[in-house]
Structure 1
Amino acid sequence: MSTSSPVTRIRDHATVRPHAVALRDKHLGVWREYTWEDYWEQVQLAGHAYLALGLEPGDRVAIHAENRPEWLIADMGALAARAASVGVYPTNPAAEVGYLLGDSGAKVILAEDQEQVDKTFEVLDQAPDLRKVVYLEPRGIRNRYDHELLMPWEDFLELGREHRDAHPDAIAATMDAAEPEDLATLIYTSGTTGPPKGAMLSIANVEFAIRILAEEGAFTDPPPGPDDLLLSYLPLSHVAERIFTTWFNASAGTQVNFAESAETVPANLREVQPTVLFGVPRIWEKLLAGVEIRLSGASWFKRKVAAYWLKVADRLGHQLVANGGAHTARTRLVYGIGYVVFYRALKDRLGMRKVRYAASGAAPIAPEVLRFFMGIGVPMHEVYGMTENTAVATANRPGRIRLGTVGEAHPGVEVRIDEATGEILTRHPGVFVGYWRKPEATAEVLGADGWLRTGDVGEWVEGTHLKITDRMKDIIITAGGKNISPSMIENELKASPYVREAIVVGDGRKYLTALIGIELDTVGEWAQRKQLGFSTYKDLTAKPEVVELISGVVKDVNTRLAQVEQVKEFRLLPKELDHEDGELTATQKVKRSAIAQMFDDTVSEMYARSSS
């Protein structure tokens, strides 16, 4: 009997309900459906194709594409062939692609289009193990490139079909030989402080995550099932999206709908109306900012109605927070009236009318943002996990929410805080095998006793709920010896719809300053209402009125902070931070060291000016 894994679960769904819809994507403006039978058929063909290319157990397959059915097919096909997938972010520049291919030793890469193929060819000298470059979109490739490594997706599947005809039992035999200790995937960390490291997750790690998060319903109540709809839009190279898209789908039989692009997510949300929705803080902040923009452009009457019911929602949010996220008879009645009058239409516009469970994770989020969505009737929960523990650690559960915390430990999960350093440690069967080819780095975070050092600093709230105060490496120690958590201050600033990025500075200094990036959409719309002309992002940030607008945000936040935590000076970033420029990681986390170096003169000027 084969080891249980996501791919065996897909096979089981195809056997039990072959004609039910597993995946949907949009092709030429029309939603295209893949039944479980279709999905399993293509997974088998991909697995046979890998075997035909000579892949052996433990070999790696890189996937460099946006979210789409082929991503999952290539991933699960690799697992069927006992190979391991390596996700490459679509935004990774060529240099990072070369590093990932070289470090992982990938033998096959799935490249979405000409842009990704070009990146691969640019770094072929760094990928000596590469045997095939399988591309999905032929435009610009088929008639212009002639290279022995290139193979279109259709030919790749045909190779698998030919191999299956010649060796019909090969994939079944390979799956039967799989072991729980087999490498399922290499997920590379963000690389905020250095080159990314490949976290090795075994089949056993993944199956533990499936059992805790999907089957036992540690997130949702009831657990996810075939009636649940999900929208896949965050990069599948990230462990959180892999859980909600790939592993929930394989285990619980949820239907996955792929967003067309990052730009179409709001429209796709409205079309799909998912029942389970996961987002990183940036997504929730962006959606909230979008509400502000739409309302500012509405008629006088609609603005008045919205203002009233949003005030009611704010009160509801506070009352829900005080009651652990559960309604009282009174709040349910008030919300019911508001739902008919306003909230239903707003949630429908946001694509959240049917959401029964929503989660934010992967980075800290301002409590005000969570409270807004709770108030309008979106059941929000902050959750916590990381690549190195297969994203299994803690979660706020329905009816037991504590705002500002990441919730309680999941069943079967040990969580403790180091008494000396305040660092959060976790231990359970989902803790990763280690970093790929980096035993020293593994030893730094994973003890012989199985405890994983997360690098996060935290504290207990009411003895049950975990609160993360910051990353250990990000804690600021001022010249006066005060320990400051910059992320808490940054989140307060980013709760404003006008602020996209905030980087608090002050290590070794007498006080704190900040570099702030504006939210172009909301500040641009505000400027138009004020009849302020501008041509570029940089031009907009140079407007004295915009500086004054953000100054108001900073002053408001300062009123809620202790004296030592207050931001004394700030400057607006003259550009939007970008992954390709090395300022953000692929998961949109700020690279503080890069920012400090890039804007060193600006920071120095703030301190020089303030002390003069």
Structure 2
Amino acid sequence: MSTALRQSEVDISTLPARLLELAATQPKEVALRHKLWGRWRETTWAGYAAQVARTAAGLRRLGVAAGTRVAIHAENRPEWLLADLAVQGLGAVSVGIYPTSPAAEIEYLLAHAAVSVLITEDEQQLDKVLAVRQNLPDLRHIVVIDPRGVRAEGILTFADLMADDDGSYAATVSSLDPSAPAILVYTSGTTGPPKGAVISHANLVASGRKFVDALGAGDRDEVLSYLPLCHIAERLISVIDAVWAGSTVNFGEGGEAFAQDLRDVQPTVFLGVPRVWEKMMAGVEIRMSDASRLKRLVYKACLRQGRRIAPRRMSGRTSPADKIVLALCELLVFRPLRLKLGMSRVRVPVSGAAPIAPQVLEYLWAVGIPVLEGYGQTENTAICTLTPPGDVRLGTVGRALPGVEIRIADDGEILTRSDGVFQGYLDDPAATAATVDTDGWLHTGDVGTLSDDGFLTITDRKKDIIITAGGKNVSPSEIENLLKVSPYVREAMVVGDRRKYLTALVGIELDTVGNWATRRGLAYTTYADLSDKPEVHALIGNVVSAANKELAQVEQVKRFALIGKELDHEDGELTATQKVKRTAIEKRFHAEIEAMYT
């Protein structure tokens, strides 16, 4: 870790101030890297800070000042970070909006936050805003990052915004109040309208300090920015930790190019949500089915050895014999496999933002990707727990980070307290009081257990626990994760509250099931057509049967239905973070659910 970072722990109280320090102490080091038209372009820390200063000057000309709310509505790209740190440096409040958000959701968020300036990505995103602008009296200015095709009048470009630097950014940053709001992060809204979590400069700095220390992150680390930046998880990696540690943030081409982006960057620190890790495992399994017989035999033999040794690797107790076996497996399979996955340099792979099946973690450890689990929320600036290296316990999310207190309430709810706990929900004192009690404990809404030596196990969301007609409490997420271990299952939602038995709605993984069908000569035209085939139903039936063998009788899925469409954020079936909206799904597929109980 750099000397500048150690000094900053004493006298730096905001992320913009830390950015300016890096610009002064390591001006020529690479801060950002962006792939554009197939070529990677670099920005130094001095260039990063200069661009942020120019962006801030442009925003100041638009009337942005302390307390003003500025929204950023774009995919992951350098301009997102420039705008975010420029807004924070002015004492204003940065509000992230998911690029997948439909017009109605954008209208709600901009109105609720009383946003006065919106920075949007391109013509497509601009059209969503223009469709509802007449309902947004507080919105005074719209800035477009990529103006190609934009014909609307009165729209500024990001280049216009960065035209001049008035030289006042550093002075403004030096006068920031660490206790003032810095960002507004909206919750996913699984059970109702999203709530705006107010997070201060001090919260962000506390998060940076704790995670940089826990991860051992520094100025030699590389990260790939790919999760939505308005989510606290990606904000943590690409903004908070990257600025605090001085790490390099890479922006690839995204979307379908994600796998290639990973191979290009080979990040040293990588945060993957469970869906990413699940798909990575499924992709390897599918590719191996196309390999030669010899390659399959070698892969299976090495994987078997990797699985056998994995528990000892998790506890840091591999024997000399284990190391010899692993060295051979590395040479034959694991090292080239990780290179293709983009994991050849990964030093700290982390899974977070949602529960992950232990079977997936076991596989990743077996092939040499030592994934650690972390647990945190928007409301505590992601500060809660992390798996300690050398003491990995599958099924738990690790121990409390330094300075974090955890306790379990009488009803099983997990409560946390730290300097990351947010300031409350915007304009919602009732929800704030229900979430943070008078003693400063954050009521997470998750249910779990805490071992005697401090390892936390999360059972489920408190509101999602199923109580069967027989009075048994069942955690649906554990069953759903077990089903989603299969490469053929993309979504699974267990149903059964107040019912005699459990059922499940299952969404297939189009790529893998399509590949399976093609191999068997099963022609299909659409997702719905593929889902409707008896052979596919039988395939998923085998997945359900295999999962049931690992479950208690009351937890077993007695019947299931394949849904005929891919769940979508714009249709209101998923949150922007791809979490299933259970109430919306139960309403949308009411007939299919009832048919499983007749």
What whole-Å deviation, never above 9, does each CA across 1:504-542 have from its counterpart, x for those lacking one? 000000010000111111111111111111111111111
Q: Which residue identity is paired with 2:257?
A: T
Give the whole-Å Cα distance in 2 for the aligned partners of 1:175 and 1:456. Answer: 37
Q: Residue 14 of structure 2 corresponds to which residue in structure 1?
A: 5
1:87 alignment counterpart: 96
Kept in 2: contact 1:425–1:452 (CA 8 A): yes
My pick for the range that moved more, 307-316 or 255-264, is 307-316
Q: Could you tell me how far apart the structure 1 residues matched to 2:317 and 2:312 are?
A: 9
Instruction: State the partner residue of 2:459.
Output: 469
| 2:123 equivalent in structure 1 | 114
The one of 222, 225, 245 equivalent to 2:238 is 245
Contact kept? 2:352, 2:375, Cα under 8 Å: yes
Matches within 5 A, 1:240-389: 240-321=233-314, 323=315, 327-389=318-380
**Distance in structure 2 (CA, Å) of the matches to 1:171 and 1:286:** 43
Q: Deviations over 1:345-375 (max 9, x none)?
A: 1000000011111010111110010111111
Whether the aligned pair in 1 keeps the contact of 2:358 and 2:395 (CA below 8 Å) is: yes
Equivalent residue in structure 1 for 2:217, among 224, 229, 247: 224
Give 1:461 deviation, angstroms. Answer: 3.4
Does structure 1 conserve the Cα–Cα contact (< 8 Å) formed by 2:468 and 2:501? yes
Contact 1:417 1:423 in 2 (8 A): yes
Are 1:17 and 2:8 counterparts? no
Determine whether 1:600 maps to 2:590. Answer: yes
How many Å apart are 1:431 and its aligned residue? 0.1
Question: 1:464-543 counterparts in 2 under 5 A?
Answer: 464-543=454-533
Give the C-alpha shift of residue 237 in structure 1.
0.6
For the 8 Å contact 2:417–2:441, the answer to whether it is kept is: yes
Instruction: Indicate conservation of the 8 Å contact 1:101/1:127, yes or no.
Output: yes
Q: Any idea what the Cα deviations from partners look like across 1:82-106, whole Å, max 9, x if unmatched?
A: 1111000010000001111001111
1:156 and 2:146 matched? no
Q: Which runs of 5+ in 1 are unaligned?
A: none
Identity %: 52
CA offset at residue 193 of structure 1? 0.3
Shift, 1:341, TM fit: 1.1
Task: Report deviation, 1:299.
Answer: 2.1
State the AA in 2 paired with 1:59.
T
Aligned residue identity for 1:307: K
CA distance in 1, matches of 2:344, 2:317: 18
CA shift digits 1:147-199 (9 cap, x unpaired): 22x101111111x43xx1xxx3x323321221111111000000000000010
Would the aligned equivalents of 1:416 and 1:424 in 2 still touch at CA under 8 Å? yes
Q: Is 1:78 aligned to residue 82 of structure 2?
A: no
The AA in structure 2 aligned to 1:566 is Q
Give SS of 1:195's match. coil
Aligned residue number for residue 426 of structure 1: 416
Query: Any idea what SS the aligned residue of 1:597 has?
Result: helix
Counterparts of 1:65 and 1:591 in 2: how far apart (Å)? 23
Q: Which runs of 5+ in 2 are unaligned?
A: 1-9
Partner of 2:398: 407
Are the equivalent residues in 1 in contact too, given 2:145–2:158 (CA < 8 A)?
yes
Structure 1 residues 328 and 433: alpha-carbon distance in aligned structure 2, compared to 1, 3 A threshold: farther
Distance 1:331 1:355 in 2: 21
The CA distance in 2 between the partners of 1:314 and 1:109, in whole Å, is: 50
- TM-superposed deviation, 1:379: 1.4
Per-residue deviation, residues 283-322 of structure 1 (Å, max 9, x unmatched)? 111111111121112222222222222222222234434x
Number of residue pairs the alignment of both structures matches? 589
Q: Is the 8 A contact 1:91 1:579 kept in 2?
A: yes
| Distance in 2 separating the partners of 1:137 and 1:317 | 47
Q: Is the 8 Å Cα contact of residues 48 and 81 (structure 1) preserved in structure 2?
A: no
Equivalent-residue separation in structure 2 for 1:365 and 1:251 (angstroms): 28
Shift of 1:462: 4.8
Q: Distance in 1 between matches of 2:413 and 2:567?
A: 29
CA distance in 2, matches of 1:476, 1:319: 36
1:332, distance to aligned residue in structure 2 (A):
2.4
Determine the C-alpha separation between the residues in 1 that align with 2:267 and 2:111: 38
Q: Distance in 1 between matches of 2:569 and 2:546?
A: 30
Q: Deviations over 1:186-228 (max 9, x none)?
A: 00000000000010000011111111111xx22x2xx111111
Q: Confirm or deny: 8 A CA contact 1:326 1:398 kept in the other structure.
A: no
Q: Distance in 1 between matches of 2:34 and 2:352?
A: 25
The Cα of 1:114 is off from its aligned counterpart by: 0.5
SS of equivalent to 1:264: helix
- Show the counterpart of 1:199: 197
TM-score, L = length of structure 1: 0.95
Q: Deviations over 1:20-70 (max 9, x none)?
A: 110011111100101111100010011111211111201111000011100
Partner SS, residue 607 of structure 1: coil
Distance 1:349 1:2 in 2: 42
For residue 58 of structure 1, the aligned residue among 44, 47, 67 is 67
TM-superposed CA distance for 1:2, in Å, is 8.5
**Letter of the structure 2 residue corresponding to residue 407 of structure 1:** G
Instruction: Give the letter for the 2:171 counterpart.
Output: A
**Distance in 2 between residues matched to 1:278 and 1:237, nearest whole Å:** 15
CA distance in 1, matches of 2:495, 2:132: 36
What TM-score results when the alignment is normalised by the length of structure 2? 0.97
